[in-house]
Structure 1
Amino acid sequence: MDADAQKAAVKSASRRYGEVTHIRFSADELASLKAIGEREGATVSEVVRRLVRAEAGHLPVASEALRPAIVDMADQLRRVGVNFNQAVRAMNHGRVAHDEDLEQALMAVGNLVRQFREELKVMTGGSRKAREARS
């Protein structure tokens, strides 16, 4: 990789992830991380991010086998969210009898749908290596 391409890759990673930290690993630990990365088609950085996400209780990054199903679920959730928005908008414009409790419930469910959809999108992002392989 030439110097310009390397600088562009670093800038791209900086925009995606923001913060940089430096961690020291033993030779055995680093070998384990590299082995996981090779098996998963990910960089050591991506392996560490996945481990941190798992420890923090976030959803994992989807495997390539699961990716199409998760993309489909995210699309279905987008459609559900659109329907919730239409229902609330109809109440707000007087086309449907207004019910404050129902409106609050629809908004709460809509927010949950959006949150879950965003988590699914994160799961399908994957590593840089995986995205480049799909391109």
Structure 2
Amino acid sequence: MPKDVCDEEKLRVMVSLRLTQAEHAGLTALAHEHQTSQSQMLRRLIRTASGLPDVPDAQAIQTLKASGEELRRIGVNLNQAVRALHEGRAHFQKELSEGLLLVSRIVSGMQQTLEQSARLAQQSARQRLAREG
């Protein structure tokens, strides 16, 4: 199973097809250009053509996991600060309030950036498929 297929999305159906020499050459070149297997390239093309999101590659998954872990650590720290405030172990400070607002803006910005990146990647993949198809 390819590295960039998520565990939840097991490959369960096998499809057999015949290609012309030219089609096979095109598929081989495209797969080589994207540094992936012919099977994975076909899955990417099918996902793009059918409007499904592309499965991220191993590097993208690792980057997302690292970002998620960083956000988790920020959340843990925020929870500790809020708990300390509620339990009376810390006093409200203007700097803390400003910091919380800043973190909220940063997280919202990250979310918007991720959503926009996903939309742009999908549009780009569709346009590339339309040109190459």
TM-score range, shorter-chain basis?
0.3 to 0.5
With normalisation by structure 1, the TM-score equals: 0.39
Max radius of gyration: which structure?
Answer: 2
Structure whose residues are more often helix by fraction: 1
With normalisation by structure 2, the TM-score equals: 0.39
